[in-house]
Amino acid sequence: MNFALIMLVALLLTGAIWLFDIYLGKPHRAKEAKDPILVEYAKSFFPVILVVFLLRSFLVEPFKIPSGSMLPTLLVGDFIIVNKYTYGIRLPVVNTKIIEVNQPQRGDVMVFRYPEDPSLDYIKRVVGLPGDRVVYRDKRLTINGKPVAMEDRGEEFGYEKSGLNYVTAKRAYEQLGSHKHAVLLLPEFPSVRLGDVRAFPSRANCDYNEDGFSCTVPPGQYFMMGDNRDDSNDSRYWGFVPDRNIVGKAIMIWWHAREFVFVGMDLKRVGQMIN
């Protein structure tokens, strides 16, 4: 569902009804006559829809974490705020950039439209910038020939993968650009599931084998990976993210609840900045 398009249609519809009444309806009604119900609704909802539309389009947008691919940084049930202008001002609905601001940096947590289905929003970490050579072998990242620093403190992290399937992963700490963040590793899993790799645009830029992969990121595109490295559907499998698909930068957790009715909520996460 394209919520921005729905908001735009509602904005145009309520605005048109209000304007129609101002110039063609109200002048022909008796002064003591009440506004038609449809006009009353339009006048009430138009300002609200306008404010929400502008906020979501140009400033911030809420987003709910639907899966565990960004564990342990983001938990299932986290509600986050996405900064819409960090990477440039874009026209709503068509997502065309009209004002350049900043470029994504390695380590940023970014929300983007899934390349295989732009109606879906995904969230991952920026690993490769345009022109980067990204190598991932034996659970270690190398970018442009330099190994990414990783610290193993011997920590474990347990989570529910699906149903009653409880998984215990190894937690390590990775330094990507200015971001030091935790990643999860499952030693018994391969660095890449070769059977899940699809054909995608610029697939020829990548080389896969049982040890992992190497990819050169095309101009104007980004390579994304989840922090839950062995349990993430990311650029390893469906390719690069074009700049036009960028939604914004994840900046803060504003609520946490497993269910929207706030069952299992964790108030300690409220207000945490996303690194």
Three-state SS sequence of 139-159:
CEEEECCEECCEEEEEEEEEE
Give the Cα separation of 173 and 17 in Å (integer).
56
Active site residue 69: yes
> Of the candidates 12, 13, 14, 40, which has an alpha carbon nearest to the alpha carbon of residue 26?
40
**For residues 174 and 207, is the Cβ–Cβ distance under 8 A?**
no
Taking CA atoms, 168 is separated from 127, 230, 268, in Å, by 24, 12, 23
Name the catalytic one among 84, 124, 139, 249.
Answer: 124
CA 118 to chain centre: 12
Give the Cα separation of 224 and 231 in Å (integer).
14
Name the catalytic one among 69, 191, 232, 235.
Answer: 69
Three-state SS sequence of 77-141:
CEEEEEECCCCCEECCCCCCEEECCCCCCCCCEEEEECCCCCCCEEEEEEEECCCCEEEEECCEE
Active site residue 124: yes
Give the Cα separation of 69 and 215 in Å (integer).
21
Catalytic residue numbers, as ranges: 69, 124
